[in-house]
């Protein structure tokens, strides 16, 4: 099944510790100028009110305003955008225009905030997501074929993609 899951904001601790420390104050959502960070309305009481990013709606644009306002340290301070550690984008080549050969598309590459580092164009033609991807979800949002999903950091190990740890 090809679908996306919500992510934690940049700098989030590992999921169990993040949920233990987060007091659902909403300060991270309040300072987000893009509306990327929202508060979960879920049936799981541990996650109710916890901040999340839904990249298919509004990805994280890596402004890094949220970690400094977290009063409990659930979001750790970040020195550089490359430390955001939200997750990893995964490309389904069977859905990608360029790999399919029907259209040359490089929208994901053009919009990636870490272009030529997290997302490269192999041989100038084929998009390749590298281990430097921080999981902001911009590529997922802009892909016209929805060939990219962003996997939360907490799920990477289960998929054999744990190399993206910050």
What are 57-68's pLDDT values in tens digits? 999 999 999 999
Alpha helices, DSSP H only, in the chain? 15-21, 27-31, 66-69, 97-100, 107-111, 138-142, 153-156
Percent of the chain with pLDDT over 90: 71
Residue 97 lies in a domain: yes
Of 47-51, 53-57, 102-106, the range with the lowest mean pLDDT is: 47-51
Please name which of 69, 76, 73, 9 lies closest in space to residue 37, comparing C-alpha atoms.
Answer: 9
Residue 15 lies in a domain: no
Say how many domains are in the chain.
1
- At residue 158, the pLDDT reads 59
- d(CA 101, CA 97) in angstroms, rounded, equals 6
Residue 38 lies in a domain: no
- At residue 33, the pLDDT reads 98
Residue 144 lies in a domain: yes
Tally of CA atoms within 13 A in the half-sphere of 74 that contains its CB: 24
Residue 104 lies in a domain: yes
Q: How far is CA 3 from the centre of its chain?
A: 13
> Where is pLDDT greater, at 17 or 3?
17
Of 66-75, 82-91, 114-123, 149-158, the range with the lowest mean pLDDT is: 149-158
Residue count (the chain):
166
Query: Structural domain of residue 143, as residue ranges?
Result: 87-153
CATH number where 127 lies: 3.30.70.20
Strands 126-129 and 119-122: antiparallel
Residue 146 lies in a domain: yes
56 near 6, Cβ under 8 Å? no
- d(CA 4, CA 162) in angstroms, rounded, equals 17
Strands 148-152 and 87-91: antiparallel
Residue 68 lies in a domain: no
């Amino acid at each position: 099944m090809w679908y996306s899951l919500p992510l934690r904001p940049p700098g989030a601790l590992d999921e169990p510790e993040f949920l233990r420390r987060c007091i659902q104050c909403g300060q991270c959502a309040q300072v987000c100028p893009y509306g990327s960070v929202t508060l979960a309305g879920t049936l799981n009481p541990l996650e109710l009110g916890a901040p999340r990013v839904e990249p298919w709606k509004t990805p994280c644009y890596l402004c890094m305003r949220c970690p400094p306002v977290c009063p409990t340290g659930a979001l750790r301070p970040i020195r550089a955008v490359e430390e955001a550690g939200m997750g990893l984008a995964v490309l389904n080549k069977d859905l990608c225009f360029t790999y399919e050969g029907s259209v040359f598309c490089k929208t994901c590459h053009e919009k990636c905030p870490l272009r030529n580092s997290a997302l490269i164009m192999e041989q100038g033609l084929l998009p390749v997501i590298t281990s430097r991807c921080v999981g902001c979800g911009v590529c997922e949002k802009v892909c016209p074929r929805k060939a990219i999903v962003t996997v939360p950091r907490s799920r990477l190990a289960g998929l054999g993609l744990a190399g993206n740890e910050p």
